[in-house]
Amino acid sequence: MKITALRLAALAAAVAGLAACSTPSQGDARIAATAQLTASSSVAQPNPQLPVRGTLEFSQLGDTVRVNGVISGLKPNAPHAFHVHEKGDCSAPDFLSAGGHFNPTNEPHGAAGSAHHHLGDLPPLMADASGTARVSFSSKSLTLTGPNSIVGRAVIVHRDPDDVNAQPTGNAGPRLACGVIRAAN
């Protein structure tokens, strides 16, 4: 039986279609979460007419968590510290109800991605001239599942940059905005 190029192309398309319909394996399942950040009512905002707010999206595939989002109302052209905190509680006006940095492994505070750092230490935010920071990074330290999951914890944006050396918090100043990380539906 002779296979023509047309039949071969049709067979390849059918195989590709079946592969696309297959159920992903457990390791291929994507997990997602979001956080809506709102401004503190008791801490002076960089721009009172446009308080700090934003949306973050977290997605995990395998052992990598991807974080994307936009945060506005920040001090223009300035760095800001950004951390996951231990409690998912943004109820206090100054957000101290969120507790300290998420640190289940009992590491010293440090730069995200360094050998020793809190699991909650995130890369710094850098606001542009309009006071907006675009967030886009991947992390193998963060997880959305298991005992060290960040789901149900709070994300905090601080007024000042993180010096990454001061213990235990990086001397990052007051908490400008807070949002609880919630599993996506």
CA 169 to CA 153: how far, in whole Å?
A: 17
* Bridge partner list, 65: 60, 139
User: Looking at 53, 80, 109, 117, which residue is catalytic?
Assistant: 109
Given the structure tokens 């279609």, which residue do they identify?
A: 17
User: Looking at 53, 80, 83, 153, which residue is catalytic?
Assistant: 83
Q: Catalytic residue at 117?
A: no
User: Looking at 53, 80, 117, 118, which residue is catalytic?
Assistant: 118
CA 37 to CA 172: how far, in whole Å?
A: 18
Q: Catalytic residue at 158?
A: yes
Q: Catalytic residue at 83?
A: yes
Torsional class of 22: left (φ above 0), alpha (ψ -120 to 50), beta (otherwise): beta
User: Looking at 53, 117, 153, 175, which residue is catalytic?
Assistant: 175
Cβ partners under 8 Å of residue 66, min gap 6: 58, 59, 60, 137, 138
User: Looking at 153, 158, 159, 162, which residue is catalytic?
Assistant: 158
User: Looking at 85, 117, 153, 159, which residue is catalytic?
Assistant: 85
User: Looking at 53, 80, 101, 159, which residue is catalytic?
Assistant: 101
Q: Catalytic residue at 101?
A: yes
User: Looking at 121, 153, 159, 162, which residue is catalytic?
Assistant: 121
Q: Which residues are catalytic?
A: 83, 85, 101, 109, 118, 121, 158, 175
